[in-house]
Structure 1
Amino acid sequence: MDLTRDGWPLAEQRAATATTRSWPGGPALADPDSWDVVAVRGILAVVLVSLHHRDSLSPTDAAWGSVLWHCDDAARVRSLVTAQLPHAAHAFRGSDDPVTRMWAWLTRSWDSPSSARWHGLRRGIARGSPEPAVDICTGWAAHIAAAEINRERGGHQIYDRVRIVGTPAAGRHGYVRGLAWHLDDTRQTVADGPLGYDVGLDDATGTAVIPADHLAVGTDGLSWPHTAREDSRS
């Protein structure tokens, strides 16, 4: 494979597939013509193509754990891209280069008062902010990467009904609201070991991180967004 020639199209394709599949609220809400999806998809694509150049592997083989580590902080994304792409044969050569165009779009400010400031795209995330998309949407890209890791490992998905097992709190029910990973800064990826989940329990305010081996599928027959607390009031 010619990694230089094939890297960007493969990175774009993988980023687009993941963004649609793991978009918060489901694929139906991942509007490909929205500023939000273009930004998140673009961040994932430039990270994947940067890892492709850094590690000399296909973007299809870059680990989502490494993508998540970088997307945990927009500064890490900026550092990776600006360190890797200037040395790539197809990057930063001029306005005709697709990687250059994507990075310029992700790092531009949006301070024009005109509605055309979003290049005619519909926008929902931080509509009033002039900050660059890479600074606003990297957290959203991290959400996509975390969901992809979780899918690979066969874990619970967002809004799954779960119950606590194997602890004094066994039997309590709630919903998965987020995915909790421990980041390994030395290896620049997620750490090995059990995955934890950010769970909103019916009988508590807020959420709590619970290790994966202390959660099982819920058995009370409820599904999002209904809770046992609501049932007790009816």
Structure 2
Amino acid sequence: MPPHTDSPSPWDDAVRRATAATAAERPGGMDESCWDDVAMRGIVAMVLYALHLRERRAVDEIRWEAVLWHLRDDKHVEALVTAVLPGAGHDLTRTAPTGDPVAECWRWLTRTWDPNAPTKGSALTFMGPTHQPESLWVPDTPEFRWDGMSRGVGSGLPDPALEVGVNWAAGVVQSAITSESGGYGTHQRVKVKAGPLKGHRGYVRELGWVFNDEAQTVEGPAGYVVDLDDVEGLERLDADHLTRGRDHQWPRRPQGTLKVAPPPLRDPLPPRKTCGQDLEEILDRASNPEIVPPQLRQTIASAKEHHHLTLDAQATPAPQRFTWHVLMHWYQLTEHYADDQRADLYEVIIKRHLHDASPKHYLALREDDVPDLIARCMAAAE
């Protein structure tokens, strides 16, 4: 499919339009040195450009409603881009030569990241991932964390920007639609003008849309989730039941509700799990609980305190898409801490996607065993 060329550079048009939408949504405008902004802008631009190619229409003629339909999750974005762009001459493979800004943007959106890489300007020496299997490629020259940019969204995640930022990109497009249609944005003040809650006022928390899968577009906002001042919880209200609020204060709220104040600080906390209960939960979710011998189980069950640390988080990009998190569970065996009075257990969590609903959990008795365990688990899952 040859690219549509009403504009000298449709990709530049897509980036321009996505930049304007992102700038309107982000406090202070579009920040080119912010990973979050670059990710959101890139995702929106890719969808705009792909729809331009598929529909053979100018980028500025692509409706935001069609863009939002594809931003329902990263799988829809990936399906659109990989179905359309290769036919227009864009090589999306990770080994393709550089020089195509469209393909380079896609590779940036779908690459993985090392949360432990040195920050830009850091004097620390790059030591490499602690728990990286030897079979995986590691760059000879260290990269700066997040490409040298600042990052706020999911700043500890190694997963691709497409998976992390697609919901944020959808928020950018939702704001563009509501701005053009006169709808209400998140946190905007509204008043209920019809229905059983008529007269109540509150703030918009979420926007509701009707997804037309046949036409691949959305309609709306069809409704809103509203936090009403004097009603406990949130309410789902039709769009035609609301009007713009003229007051901007946060009114006095009923005593005895969570809306008047958070729970008292002196409220008792839920009982802390015993070390035995904590170990039982870990063993229940593990795929290899048999690795923990009975003697160690007894030792941990009689421990005084349990503590948990995240040691590492790494990922590999598609087609061998994996994310793994390494946790350390350590148990204090005496009332007062001592290095030789501690029992350790390591847990590796393997995912195929950021939002994997069924991650796999594996246990190791020594930290030195973790890299080989990760490699074996990834090989078994392929």
**Structure 1 length normalisation: TM-score?**
0.88
1:56 is aligned to 2:56:
yes
The structure whose RCO (Cα within 8 Å, separation 6+) is larger is 1
170, 192, 197: which one pairs with 1:142?
Answer: 170
Residue type of the alignment partner of 2:48? L
203, 213, 216: which one pairs with 1:175?
Answer: 203
2, 14, 18: which one pairs with 1:15?
Answer: 18
3-state SS of paired residue (1:47): helix
Moved over 6 A (4+): 230-233
- C-alpha contact (below 8 Å) 1:94/1:100 kept by paired residues: no
Distance change in 2, residues 1:111/1:194 (3 Å): closer
Tell me the residue number matched to 1:228: 252
The farther-off stretch of 40-49 and 208-217 is 208-217
Tell me the residue number matched to 2:44: 44
What pairs with 1:184-199 in structure 2 (closer than 5 Å)?
A: 184-191=212-219, 195-199=222-226
How far did 1:117 drift?
2.4
Higher Rg of the two aligned structures: 2
Give me the CA root mean square deviation.
2.4
The farther-off stretch of 201-210 and 137-146 is 201-210
Q: Mind listing any 5+ residue stretches in structure 2 that lack a counterpart?
A: 120-143, 261-382
Q: Distance in 1 between matches of 2:11 and 2:30?
A: 21
Which structure carries more helix by proportion? Answer: 1
- C-alpha contact (below 8 Å) 2:208/2:221 kept by paired residues: no
Q: Distance in 1 between matches of 2:16 and 2:233?
A: 36
Tell me the residue number matched to 2:104: 101
1:68 is aligned to 2:68:
yes
Residue type of the alignment partner of 1:180? G
1:117 is aligned to 2:164:
no
Tell me the residue number matched to 1:34: 34
Residue type of the alignment partner of 1:155? G
Distance change in 2, residues 1:130/1:228 (3 Å): same
- C-alpha contact (below 8 Å) 1:47/1:77 kept by paired residues: yes
- C-alpha contact (below 8 Å) 1:10/1:59 kept by paired residues: yes
3-state SS of paired residue (1:174): strand
Residue type of the alignment partner of 1:222? H
Residue type of the alignment partner of 1:216? T
Tell me the residue number matched to 2:325: none
Q: Distance in 1 between matches of 2:17 and 2:192?
A: 35
1:216 is aligned to 2:248:
no
**Structure 2 length normalisation: TM-score?**
0.55
3-state SS of paired residue (1:182): strand
Q: Distance in 2 between matches of 1:194 and 1:124?
A: 28
